Amino acid sequence: MHPAHVTVIFVLGGPGAGKGTQCARLVAEFDFCHLSAGDLLRAEQTREGSADGELIRTCIREGTIVPMEVTIKLLDTAMRAAIAARDAASAPGWGAGRGRFLIDGFPRKMDQALKFDETVCTSALVLYFATTEEVLLARLLERGKTSGREDDNAASITKRFRTYKVNTMPVIAHYAALGKVAEVDSTDSIEAVYGRARAVVEDVFAGKYNKI
Ligand code: C5P
Ligand code: MG
């Protein structure tokens, strides 16, 4: 997929930073297709006949990263399906092989970043939601009361924080060095954070990051 036709914004931030919440709002306003790597992995884990179900289950419970081939294949397939499904759409950014994507919770590790850029599509920007570990922990424990997620418990959360620091912070540093990171403080209310996130997206469509 060519970045001239397909706009990809990676959405990163620690677990509980508000990636999913903010992506839902951006979809409603800008006609993105929102792909959450974690959601795609959870769906694949329970898909009948999946060869990777057990592997994914173990990684999610342990808070470790699923081997990149699995996740990149799921994303590539979902992107192609969205572009094909909306081929005749008149929505801005879609039709004639074009598309715009928010890829949430990806890339979580350098190997995923390099491989995706090389084999799927170069991303326009990383939208990075930043807040403190105290805020993340409080949100995840609150979410855990109703999310039904196997990894929203104190033991898994500790492991996810560690994986995030060791594997994902270097990804953010890599794209920051290329001038491709917009950091948004996500400590505030959903509404306040959204105001900042939507301004970043408007900058992307205005071409602010194209020259980098
Ligand atoms: O993003 P989310 O918190 O939903 O991800 C849940 C889990 O899915 C992660 O803790 C990790 O085990 C796995 N994952 C992954 N690679 C990604 C995204 C998620 O291995 N790019
Ligand atoms: Mg999520």
Domain boundaries, the chain: 6-205
C-alpha 3/C-alpha 123 separation (Å) is: 7
CATH number (3.30.390.50, 3.40.50.300, 3.20.20.140, 3.40.50.620) of 6-205 reads 3.40.50.300
Burial (0-12, 13-18, 19+ Cβ within 10 Å), 114: middle
Of all protein residues, whose CA lies closest to atom 4 belonging to ligand 1? 38
Residue 105 CB–ligand 1 contact under 6 Å: yes
- The CA distance from 7 to 203, in Å, is 13
Asked if the model's pLDDT at residue 75 lies above 60, the reply is yes
Binding residue per annotation — 105? yes
Helices (H), the chain: 19-30, 37-46, 53-62, 68-85, 110-119, 133-147, 154-163, 169-177, 190-205
Q: How far is it, in rounded angstroms, from Cα 45 to Cα 2?
A: 30
Task: Answer for the pair 32, 151: CB distance below 8 angstroms, yes or no.
Answer: no
CA dist 169 and 174 (Å) reads: 9
The closest alpha carbon to 150, from 73, 44, 42, 55, belongs to 42
Check if 99 has its Cβ closer than 6 Å to any atom of ligand 1.
no
The single residue listed with the structure tokens 């959450």 is 36
| Annotated binding-site residue? 160 | yes
**Residue 72 Cβ < 6 Å to ligand 1:** no
Is a pLDDT exceeding 70 seen at residue 120? yes
182 near 11, Cβ under 8 Å?
no
In the predicted structure, residue 41 carries a pLDDT above the cut 80: yes
Question: What pLDDT score does 91 carry?
Answer: 81
Q: Please state the pTM of the whole predicted model.
A: 0.94
pLDDT band at 211 (very low <50, low <70, confident <90, very high): low
The answer to whether 16 is a known ligand-binding residue is yes
d(CA 153, CA 4): 42
Q: pLDDT confidence of 212, banded at 50, 70, 90?
A: low
Q: What are the contacts of 25-28 at 24+ separation with CB within 8 A?
A: 25/190, 25/194, 25/197, 25/198, 26/102, 26/197, 26/198, 26/201, 27/102
Q: In a mutational test of the pocket of ligand 1, which residue from 108, 126, 150 has the highest number of ligand atoms less than 8 Å from its CB?
A: 108
Question: In this structure, which residue's CA is closest to atom 19 in ligand 1?
Answer: 38
Mean pLDDT of 68-92: 91
What confidence tier does 109 reach under pLDDT thresholds 50, 70, 90? very high
Q: How far is the CA of 173 from the centre of ligand 1 (A)?
A: 19
Write the pLDDT tens digit of every residue in 16-30.
999 999 999 999 999
Specify whether the CB–CB gap between 97 and 87 falls below 8 A. yes
Report helix, strand or coil for 35: strand
